[in-house]
A = this chain, B = another copy of it.
Amino acid sequence: MNQEPIKKEKILEELIEFKEKDLKFSDGRILGSMCTSANSLAKKVFYDFLDSNLGDPGLFEGTQSLEEEVINDIGSLLSLEKPYGNIVTGGTEANLMAIRAARNLAREEKNIGNIAADEYIVPELIVPKSAHFSFEKAADVLSLKLVEADLDENYQVDIGSVKDNINDNTIAIVGIAGTTELGVIDPIKDLSKIATRNNIYLHVDAAFGGFSIPFLKDLGYEIPKFDFSLDGVCSITVDPHKMGLAPIPSGCILFRDKKYLEIMAVEAPYLTTKEQSTLVGTRLGAPVAATWAVMQYMGREGYGENANECMINTHFLADSLSKEGFELTVEPKLNIVSFNHPKIPTDDLAKMLEKEGWMVSVSSYPKAIRIILMNHIKHNHMVEFLDTLDEIKANLDIK
C-alpha cells in the first residue's frame, strides 16, 4: 500500500486503463450473461442513495419505505397480496434464504437437521438436475443432502422422479421458472400439488423468469402458472437485476408467510433493528431505491415491450439457426437460445466464436452454445453473429 496519498486525477486516469479491460454490454458481444447494462435513471438514483444501509434501517427510514413498496409491487406481480421478503444481493442469496427458512422450519416442526437432537437427521433437498449451482452451494453451506431429480425429454423436471425421491427427511422441493441454461419452465402446478400433499416446502427459483413471464402472459403468451397463485408455493426468487433492468446487486426473495422470515431471524443488538433474516448484514439501500425507480419508469407496459422485443430477437435467432443447419436443444419459451451444430464440437465452436469477439457461454446439460437475448442484444448484433457462424462453417467446409 502506498505511504503517501495519491492525487485524485492520477487515480482516475489509472482507473481508465483498468476499465478498458472490462467488456461493455452495449457492444452487443456479451451473449452469455443474464445481467445487462443498468438504465441511466436507475444509475443516477443508485448514486444518490449510496450512503444508505438497510442493515441499520432505523437510520434510513425513507429507504426502508422504498423496500416495502418494492416488495409489495413484486408481490402483486407474482399474485401475492401481502408478501414478506427483502431486496438482496441476487439469486444466490435469495435461494439460500429460502432453503434456510425451509430447513429451520423442518428443525422445529420435524426435528430434521436439529443439532441438539439425540440423533441427528440429515435434511434432504430435492432440486431438478437443471437447477442453478447456488443450490449446490446452499446444500454445502446449510449441511443438506442434495438430491437431483431427473429431467424429461423437454428438460423440465420429471414429476415421477421428484415423487420417487421424497422421503421423511425431505425438507424442500425446488422448481424453476426459467432455467439458467435453457430458460425452461418446470411444471410448477404439479410440484405444488406434490408439495401440498406431502406437507413439504416448495421454493420456485424464478430469478430469470420472474420479471418476464408475468408481462409475456399480459401479452397473450401461453405460459402456465408458476407463482403464488399455486397454493404450495412458499417462496419465490426473482432478480430485478436480470429482466427487471435494475442495476446489480438487486435480487429479491418473497415469502408467502412471515413465519419463514421469523424462523431464521437472528437477534441484532445495538442496531436500529431488532433482528435480521438476510444472510448479509450491511445491506446497501441504493439498489432498493434504483429498483423502485426503474419499476416505476418501466411500468407493466414498458416491461412487456422489453420482454416481447427480447422474444422477437430470440425467435429470429432460433429460426435462423434452424435454417442454417444448427440444432436447437429446445424450442425457446423465454429469451434463451441453446444450440449445436451436428458437425462441430461445442467447445470448438465456442472457442472459434470467442476468437471472433463473441462472449458465448457453454451449458453443461446438455452441452450446447447458450445465448441469452437480453435487451443489450439488438437485431443487428444477431445478424453479425449469424455472419460469423457462416464464416466459421465456410472455413470448415461445411455447407
Contacts and interface: CB of A to CB of B under 8 A. Distances in A.
Contact of A51 (B38, B62, B293): B38
Given A141-B100, A271-B361, A5 B297 contact: yes
Nearest to A96: B279
Interface stretch (A15-23, A196-204, A253-261, A390-398): A15-23
A92 interface: yes
A379 interface: no
Contacts of A77: 1
How many monomers of this protein are in the complex?
2
Interface stretch (A40-48, A170-178, A186-194): A40-48
Given A76-B1, A143-B113, A299-B5, A282 B251 contact: yes
A181 interface: yes
A120 B3 CA distance: 51
Interface string A46-71: 11111111011011111101100000
A101 to B, nearest CB: 11
Contacts of A362: 270
Contacts of A281: 89-93, 134, 137
Interface in A7-42: 8, 11-12, 15, 17-25, 30, 32-33, 35, 37-38, 41
Contacts of A289: 15, 18
A268 B133 contact: yes
B133 A22 contact: no
Contacts of A104: 140
A59 B145 contact: no
Interface string A70-96: 000110110000000000011111001
Interface stretch (A226-234, A241-249, A307-315, A319-327): A241-249
B59 A50 contact: no
Q: Which of A1, A120, A300 has the most CB of B within 10 A?
A: A1
Interface in A95-147: 96, 100, 104, 113, 115, 120, 122, 133-134, 136-137, 140-145
A213 to B, nearest CB: 14
B269 A363 contact: yes
Contacts of A18: 62-63, 65-66, 289
A307 B146 CA distance: 48
A302 interface: yes
Contacts of A59: 22-23, 30, 33, 359
Contacts of A37: 51
A335 B144 CA distance: 42
A373 interface: no
A308 B302 CA distance: 52
Contacts of A52: 22
Contacts of A44: 12
Nearest to A20: B62
A284 to B, nearest CB: 5
B21 A65 contact: yes
B62 A1 contact: no
Contacts of A74: 1
B266 A11 contact: no
A107 to B, nearest CB: 9
A235 interface: no
Given A1-B299, A43-B50, 13 more contacts: A11-B41, A18-B289, A33-B56, A33-B59, A46-B50, A53-B248, A89-B281, A92-B279, A133-B266, A137-B281, A248-B282, A251-B282, A270-B370
21 contacts: A4-B301, A5-B296, A5-B298, A8-B41, A11-B297, A15-B45, A15-B293, A22-B59, A22-B285, A23-B60, A33-B53, A35-B51, A38-B51, A50-B247, A90-B280, A91-B282, A115-B144, A133-B267, A270-B362, A279-B279, A279-B280
